[in-house]
């Protein structure tokens, strides 16, 4: 389930406004707003999210002589002294602020002698419909690549299994799983795949959980904008920005993580009944965002990403790998 939270406030002189809120065509609120209001709703989302906040009642109960004046004045000044304002203070999806000032649009309509128009505002003084659309992410789990299928055939029952991309496994490099294995006598397996992302990682841990129970599954995830394309009879991982919609690029990582976090949490909740799940993005931006979402319960705590420990090729150096292994070992209770 995804958690949508909407905070509204109002100011009016005589008659409160009626507000109807829909999320993906589901009405989650329809009532008068007489004061500050927090609406929280659990929502199932398959694709993207469309939020609509409709405001009604601007001319309701306005004195007759004021209504008559509207025949001669084609603007909203006739309502002076008869304020009816709805302010959208904030909207969050899975704990992440959706930047409504930048992306929401208010369509003014159904007002006497006031032409319909669109405004970039969160202050609704007229009748109309405010809307915000969040683009969809990819569906989880994804597909196994050729390399993923080879690793799948090598799955064995282990105490700790490590999943991720090139910060988890690179030929000839002692990444964090190597250091984690040195910290205890437990059996540690590295199932990292260079170039992979959440699509293949979720498929890998799903396949592993179908065979092995009660292990610690540790995921160091790369940046969320990683995709898969069909490659002949198989699948390949890629970083093709062309696969992103224009809206997803404009909205940025905040909106993408807000949506992805709900899908990921639903997926991980199911697998957590079989194995112990621990996750950590490999970058500061997403680590900070994850802490605001329901994924926080799976997040490895107190991880830092110092710039001076990042190599020129975008990978973390040996010091970072050792520190991450040690903090992870404490987190899962093997130190």
Q: Please give the pLDDT value at position 320.
A: 98
pLDDT per residue as tens digits for the range 153-178: 999 999 999 999 999 999 999 999 99
Q: Please give the pLDDT value at position 69.
A: 44
Q: Please give the pLDDT value at position 61.
A: 45
List the structure tokens of 297. Answer: 């319960």
Q: Please give the pLDDT value at position 90.
A: 97
Q: Are strands 96-97 and 84-93 parallel, antiparallel or unpaired?
A: antiparallel
Q: Backbone phi, then psi, for 23, in 5-degree steps?
A: -125, 115
pLDDT per residue as tens digits for the range 189-216: 999 999 999 999 999 999 999 999 999 9
Q: Please give the pLDDT value at position 63.
A: 46
Q: What is the DSSP string of 63-126?
A: -HHHHHHTTT--SGGGGTT--EEEEEEEEEETTEE--HHHH-EEEE-SBTTB--EEE--SEE-S
Spans of all domains in the chain:
2-134, 146-332
Q: Please tell us whether the domain made up of 146-332 is placed in CATH 3.40.1360.10.
A: no
List the structure tokens of 72. Answer: 């001669």
Q: What is the mean pLDDT of the chain?
A: 90
Residues of the chain falling short of pLDDT 70: 59-81, 240-249
The highest-level CATH class for domain 2-134 is mainly beta
Q: Please give the pLDDT value at position 64.
A: 44
> Does residue 123 contact residue 85 with C-beta atoms inside 8 Å?
yes
Within this chain, domains 2-134 and 146-332 share the same CATH topology:
no
Q: Please give the pLDDT value at position 245.
A: 66
pLDDT per residue as tens digits for the range 215-236: 999 999 999 989 999 988 899 9
């Amino acid at each position: 389930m995804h958690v949508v939270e909407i905070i509204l406030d109002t100011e009016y002189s005589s008659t409160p406004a009626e507000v109807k809120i829909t999320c993906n065509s589901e009405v989650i609120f329809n009532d008068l707003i007489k004061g500050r209001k927090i609406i929280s709703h659990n929502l199932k989302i398959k694709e993207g999210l469309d939020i609509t906040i409709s405001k009604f009642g601007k001319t309701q109960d306005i004195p007759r002589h004021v209504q008559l004046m509207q025949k001669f004045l084609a603007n909203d000044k006739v309502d002076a002294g008869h304020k009816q304002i709805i302010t959208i203070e904030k909207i969050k999806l899975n704990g992440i602020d959706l930047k409504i000032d930048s992306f929401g649009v208010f369509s003014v309509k159904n007002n006497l002698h006031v032409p319909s128009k669109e405004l970039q505002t969160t202050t609704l003084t007229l009748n109309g419909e405010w809307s915000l659309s969040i683009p969809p992410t990819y569906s989880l789990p994804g597909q196994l690549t050729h390399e993923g299928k080879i690793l799948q055939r090598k799955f064995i029952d282990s105490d700790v299994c490590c999943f991720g991309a090139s910060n988890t496994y690179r030929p000839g490099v002692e990444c964090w799983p190597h250091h984690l294995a040195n910290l205890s006598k437990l059996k540690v397996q590295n199932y990292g795949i260079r170039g992979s992302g959440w699509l293949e990682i979720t498929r890998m841990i799903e396949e592993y959980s179908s065979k092995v129970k009660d292990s610690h599954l540790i995921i160091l995830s790369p940046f969320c904008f990683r995709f898969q394309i069909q490659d002949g009879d198989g699948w390949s991982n890629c970083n093709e920005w062309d696969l992103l919609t224009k809206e997803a690029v404009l909205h940025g990582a905040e909106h993408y993580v807000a949506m992805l976090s709900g899908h990921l949490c639903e997926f991980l909740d199911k697998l957590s009944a079989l194995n112990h799940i621990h996750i950590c993005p490999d970058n500061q931006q997403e680590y900070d965002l994850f802490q605001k979402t329901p994924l926080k319960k799976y997040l490895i705590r107190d991880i830092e990403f110092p710039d001076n420990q990042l190599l020129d090729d975008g990978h973390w150096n040996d010091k970072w790998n050792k520190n991450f292994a040690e903090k992870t070992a404490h987190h899962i209770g093997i130190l």
